């Protein structure tokens, strides 16, 4: 795992945007795996800057997001669909038909997950998958447990994730209790993985990435099996 330790959040965001930009420049039809949460917001801002100053063209880019709450409607301002429009898609020249996010209002969530996994597979490999990391070590909504899922699936959120995400909702009881998420196998099929972490609250999870042990209790440790992971984080996340 290649590691880049940054002094500030702005530095993380710029370094992460550079990684994405270099892939799009080399391959205009690139497929990006995208993440939500607070960590990648600065990276998206940098990508918008690069689009606005003519450095990047998203017209042929395809995206697949990691996850979505369930149930939730696209219009809910806490949905990841809304997040992606507000933080990236509305500000760049990406074609709406090339953006993919699991449908949080599907009547049959299991069929929706199967459809999503198939669409990723048919599209061909994700060139770069962006990941944040939960305080509990989750990636996407692959929560710690006795076992992990390989493919896109519906999952219960853990208490830790509900607490961590309650800050975005009016009250903790408003946080959806389930989500649709790519599985660990879906994530590991990406050609390259870009893991972002900012702040002391991520230190425990990041430390678990720095030895040679793998455990389903800290799902991000499975990334150690991938040959092309780059971790971009700040000093607090890295050193505590
Ligand atoms: P955060 O979430 O970027 O808001 O900290 C990351 C995650 O839970 O995966």
Sequential DSSP letters for the chain: -EEEEESSHHHHHHHHHHHHHHHHHH-TT-EEEE--SSTTHHHHHHHHHHHHTTS---TT-EEEESEEEES--TTSTTSHHHHHHHHTGGGS---GGGEE---TT-SSHHHHHHHHHHHHHHH---SEEEE---TT--BTTB--SS---SS-EEEEPPHHHHHHHGGGSSSGGGS-SEEEE--HHHHHTSS-EEEEE-SGGGHHHHHTTSSS---TTSGGGGGGG-S-EEEEEEHHHHH-
Distance 27 CA to ligand 1 centre (A): 28
Range of the domain at 18: 2-239
Q: Annotated catalytic residue: which of 127, 143, 153, 165?
A: 143
Predicted confidence pLDDT, tens digits, the chain (240 residues): 999 999 999 999 999 999 999 999 999 999 999 999 999 999 999 999 999 999 999 999 999 999 999 999 999 999 999 999 999 999 999 999 999 999 999 999 999 999 999 999 999 999 999 999 999 999 999 999 999 999 999 999 999 899 999 999 999 999 999 999 999 999 999 999 999 999 999 999 999 999 999 999 999 999 999 999 999 999 999 999
The reported pLDDT for the residue numbered 128 is 98
Atom 2, ligand 1: residue with shortest CA distance: 37
For residue 135, report the distance from its CA to the centre of ligand 1, in Å: 8
Can you give the pLDDT at residue 20?
Answer: 98
Q: What is the pLDDT of residue 18?
A: 98
CA distance 152 to 185: 9
> Does the C-beta of 39 come closer than 6 Å to ligand 1?
yes
Kindly state if the Cβ of 134 falls inside 6 Å of ligand 1: yes
The protein residue whose alpha carbon is closest to atom 8 in ligand 1 is 134
Evaluate whether 193 touches 131 at the Cβ level (below 8 Å): yes
pTM beyond 0.85, yes or no: yes
Number of compact structural domains in the chain: 1
Q: What pLDDT, on a 0 to 100 scale, did the predictor assign at position 116? A: 98
- How far is it, in rounded angstroms, from Cα 113 to Cα 151? 8
Interval between CA 195 and ligand 1 midpoint (Å): 11
Query: In the prediction, which pLDDT does 219 show?
Result: 98
Query: Beta-carbon neighbour count of residue 122 at 10 Å?
Result: 7
pLDDT at residue 154, rounded to an integer:
98
Give yes or no for residue 42 CB within 6 A of ligand 1: no
| Burial (Cβ within 10 Å: 0-12, 13-18, ≥19) of residue 50 | buried
Angle at which helix 41-52 crosses helix 80-87, to 10 degrees, equals 40
Which CATH number does the domain housing residue 49 bear? Answer: 3.40.50.1360
Distance from Cα 67 to the centre of ligand 1, integer Å: 12
Active site residue 211: no
What is the structure's pLDDT at 94?
98
Residue 37: CB within 6 Å of ligand 1? yes
CA-CA distances (angstroms) from residue 187 to 21, 59, 105, 135, 192? Answer: 20, 24, 23, 19, 10
Site to substitute for ligand 1 among 12, 33, 37, most atoms within 8 A of C-beta = 37
Active-site choice (67, 117, 127, 234): 67
State whether the beta carbon of 38 lies less than 6 angstroms from ligand 1: yes
pLDDT of residue 156: 96
**Which positions ≥6 away from 18 have C-beta within 8 Å?**
none
Centroid of ligand 1 to alpha carbon of 128 (angstroms): 18
């Amino acid at each position: 795992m290649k590691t880049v330790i940054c002094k500030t959040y702005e530095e993380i965001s710029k370094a992460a945007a550079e990684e994405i930009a270099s892939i799009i420049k080399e391959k205009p039809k690139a497929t990006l795996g995208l993440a939500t949460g607070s960590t990648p917001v600065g990276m998206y801002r940098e990508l918008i800057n690069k689009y606005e100053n003519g450095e990047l063209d998203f017209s042929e880019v395809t995206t697949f997001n990691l996850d979505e709450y369930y149930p939730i409607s696209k219009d809910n301002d806490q949905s990841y669909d809304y997040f992606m429009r507000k933080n990236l898609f509305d500000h760049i020249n990406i074609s709406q038909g090339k953006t993919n996010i699991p449908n949080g209002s599907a009547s049959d969530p299991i069929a929706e997950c199967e459809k999503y996994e198939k669409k990723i597979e048919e599209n061909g490999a994700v060139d770069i998958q962006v990941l944040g990391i939960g305080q509990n070590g989750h990636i996407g909504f692959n929560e710690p447990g006795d076992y992990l899922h390989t493919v896109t699936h519906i999952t219960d959120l853990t208490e830790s994730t509900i607490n961590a995400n309650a800050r975005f909702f009016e009250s903790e009881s408003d946080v959806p209790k389930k989500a649709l998420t790519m599985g660990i196998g879906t994530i590991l099929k990406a050609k390259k993985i870009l893991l972002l972490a900012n702040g002391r609250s991520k230190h425990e999870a990041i430390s678990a990435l720095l030895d040679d042990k793998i455990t389903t209790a800290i799902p991000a440790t499975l990334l150690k099996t991938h040959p092309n992971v780059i971790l971009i984080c700040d000093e607090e996340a890295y050193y505590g």
